[in-house]
Amino acid sequence: MLLLCAALWLLLGAPLASRLPDDYQTALYFDSVARAREAPTDDWKRIVLIGRRLDTTLLSTAKRSVIQSDAYWALPGGELYFENAGVYAVDRVTRQNMPGLGDVERTGQFLFPPGMDRGPHVLWDSQLAGPRAMKFAGVDEVDDVPVHRFTFQVQGLDETLGYGHLPDVPERYRALTDSDGVLLIEPASGVLVDYIERGRSSFTKPDGTVIAPFFVWNAHFTEETRRSQLKRAEQVSRRLWLLQTLVPLLLAGAGVVLLIFGMRAARRNA
């Protein structure tokens, strides 16, 4: 019976244990140094930005979670510089955006699942207003923890809505973004433990003709967020190991012991 329980746990229980929690929420913070201007002929100004991404589960069923995800970039005084917000319908097992749900038709990963393969993948979360391609680029370490390095790139992404505070956006110009960066993901848990990005947003005409860049930036996790995400990865990995490896081993081991004792008892009574 215990051997059967171990097999059933591996078949049914373990996948359930790896689902996205029905109360999932997180807050990620970023530091950024950038150059910016409000018009194509203005002088550049150096600015420091503080980024924040907040994910909150609004509704969860057995298969999916509906998540409000808001990304904000602001000056130290609190003045908003860029924002992107949306409602994402996410598969709780694969962490992928579910087509036909959410406030926009999206594809690709919103988060990363435990045991994520090396891809390639598409990522579509609230960090940018659209999808970006991810490619596996090797194995690194963060504080002695092995992580998978993925690079990403996007070109010509329309982020006009996020720059609506600029004087001529969207009335005269659209804002298109080119960006690339690095994602460091702890593979057992699927937790993103570091994020590095650089990019450029440009004024463009409605026909797509580039007028001039207006925002050039570098961004990365704050040190506190990096430590917090690393701790979360270790906690999730430990919990998954207990539920997916230790529990079935204990059940199977107990089943074998009981089977041996049962066989011995049967022989004595024979």
Tell me: the pLDDT tens digits for 113-167? 999 899 899 999 999 989 999 999 999 999 999 999 999 999 999 999 999 889 9
* pLDDT in the model for residue 239: 83
pLDDT at 242 (0 to 100): 74
Greater confidence (177 vs 103) lies with: 177
Give the length of the chain: 270
> What pLDDT is attached to residue 103?
82
Please give the share of the chain, as a percent, with pLDDT higher than 90. 73
Q: At 228, give phi and psi (nearest 5°).
A: -65, -40
Let me know if residue 45 belongs to a domain. yes
Note the helical H segments in the chain: 2-8, 14-17, 223-241, 247-269
pTM: 0.85
- For residues 38-66, one letter each, b for 16 or more C-beta atoms within 10 angstroms of the residue's C-beta and e for the rest, the string is eeeeeeeeebebbbebbbebeebeeebbb
**Separation CA 104–CA 106 (nearest Å):** 6
Per-residue confidence band for 261, with pLDDT thresholds at 50, 70 and 90: low
- Residue 29 falls inside a structural domain: yes
Question: Which residues have a Cβ under 8 Å from the Cβ of 23 and sit 6 or more positions away?
Answer: 57, 60
Whether pLDDT at 215 is above 90: yes
Query: Using CA atoms, how far apart are residues 270 and 266, in angstroms rounded to an integer?
Result: 6
Please name which of 93, 99, 108, 25 lies closest in space to residue 63, comparing C-alpha atoms: 93
pLDDT of residue 9: 44
Does residue 163 lie within any of the structural domains?
yes
CB atoms within 10 A of CB 103: 12
pLDDT of residue 169 exceeding 70: yes
Per-residue pLDDT, 3:
43
Residue 240 forms part of a structural domain: no
**pLDDT value at position 8?**
45
Q: How far apart are CA 72 and CA 47, in angstroms?
A: 15
Query: What per-residue confidence (pLDDT) applies to 240?
Result: 82
Which pLDDT belongs to residue 263?
Answer: 59
Q: Does residue 266 have a pLDDT over 60? A: no
Any domain includes 122: yes
254 domain residue, yes or no: no
Q: Which two tokens stand for residue 152?
A: 């990403």
The pLDDT assigned to 251 comes to 53
- Count of CB atoms within 10 A of residue 87's CB? 14
* Burial (CB count <10 Å: 0-12, 13-18, 19+), residue 232: middle
d(CA 225, CA 195): 10
Average pLDDT, the chain: 87
Please give the residue range of the domain that contains residue 169: 23-222
Domains in the chain, number: 1
**Percent of the chain whose predicted confidence (pLDDT) is above 70:** 83
- pLDDT tens-digit readout, 55-112: 999 999 999 999 999 999 999 998 999 999 999 999 999 999 998 777 889 999 999 9
Please, what sign has the CA dihedral across residues 221, 223, 224, 227?
positive
| Domain CATH code at residue 160 | 2.40.128
Reported confidence tier of residue 262, pLDDT bands at 50, 70, 90: low
Structure tokens at 118: 């090396």
- Tell me 96's DSSP state: B
Note whether residue 229 is domain-resident.
no
Residue 251 lies in a domain: no
